[in-house]
């Protein structure tokens, strides 16, 4: 049994963006030595997300635009207050809610050293609170 965990740094360039990480995940799987198993991908941040959808720029924009309509930055949020735990004012409730709606993880089976996915399925890291340096993790488990 092989179990490998890769912590991948990623730097967003915009306040909100969808970053295609499919090639990174495929590369980690290929180099893992796992022929058959599963790959689990997750973000380590509460104001980012991971989704799987068709890899088209127009769809990337649609997803981000509609999440903004559902959860506007200037909404009426209780999180917009002083937080003792951080010693500062919270200002990003919308980003946490968008993370919940988009999700924070995905997984795929691995067969013959390749991710088993649809031909149009693309794995995206979603930034809701950038630009920031972030980390997402890829864990490969199998034989």
Q: Report the alpha-carbon distance of residue 102 to residue 47 in Å, rounded.
A: 10
- Reading the block at residue 90, the tokens are 């919270």
Q: Write out pLDDT tens, residues 35-78.
A: 999 999 999 999 999 999 999 999 999 999 999 999 999 999 88
Nearest one of 5, 37, 34, 39 to 22, comparing CA atoms: 39
Residues 6+ apart with CB under 8 A from 27: none
Q: Give the CB-side neighbour count of residue 136, counting CA atoms within 13 A.
A: 30
The tokens of 128 are what?
């809701």
Indicate the SS3 state at residue 139: strand
Q: Are 21 and 123 in contact (CB under 8 A)?
A: yes
pLDDT tens digit sequence for 19-45: 999 999 999 999 999 999 999 999 999
Quote the number of domains for the chain: 1
Q: Residue 76: which domain range?
A: 2-142
Beta strands 133-142 and 121-127, pairing class: unpaired
Mean pLDDT within 115-136: 97
Q: Which CATH number do you get for residue 118?
A: 2.60.120.460
pLDDT digits (tens, 9 = 90+) for 2-23: 999 999 999 999 999 999 999 9
């Amino acid at each position: 049994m092989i179990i490998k965990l890769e912590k991948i740094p990623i730097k967003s360039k915009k306040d909100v963006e969808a970053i295609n990480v499919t090639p990174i995940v495929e590369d980690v799987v290929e180099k893992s030595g796992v022929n058959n198993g599963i790959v689990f991908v997750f973000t380590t941040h509460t104001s980012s997300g991971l989704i799987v959808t068709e890899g088209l720029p127009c769809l990337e924009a649609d997803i981000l635009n509609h999440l903004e309509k559902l959860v506007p930055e200037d909404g009426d949020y209780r999180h917009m207050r002083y937080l003792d735990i951080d010693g500062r004012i919270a200002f990003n409730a919308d980003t946490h809610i968008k993370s919940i709606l988009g999700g924070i993880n995905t997984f795929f089976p691995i067969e013959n050293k390749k991710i088993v996915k649809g031909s149009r399925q693309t794995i995206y890291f979603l930034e809701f609170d950038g630009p920031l340096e972030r980390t997402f993790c890829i864990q490969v488990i199998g034989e």
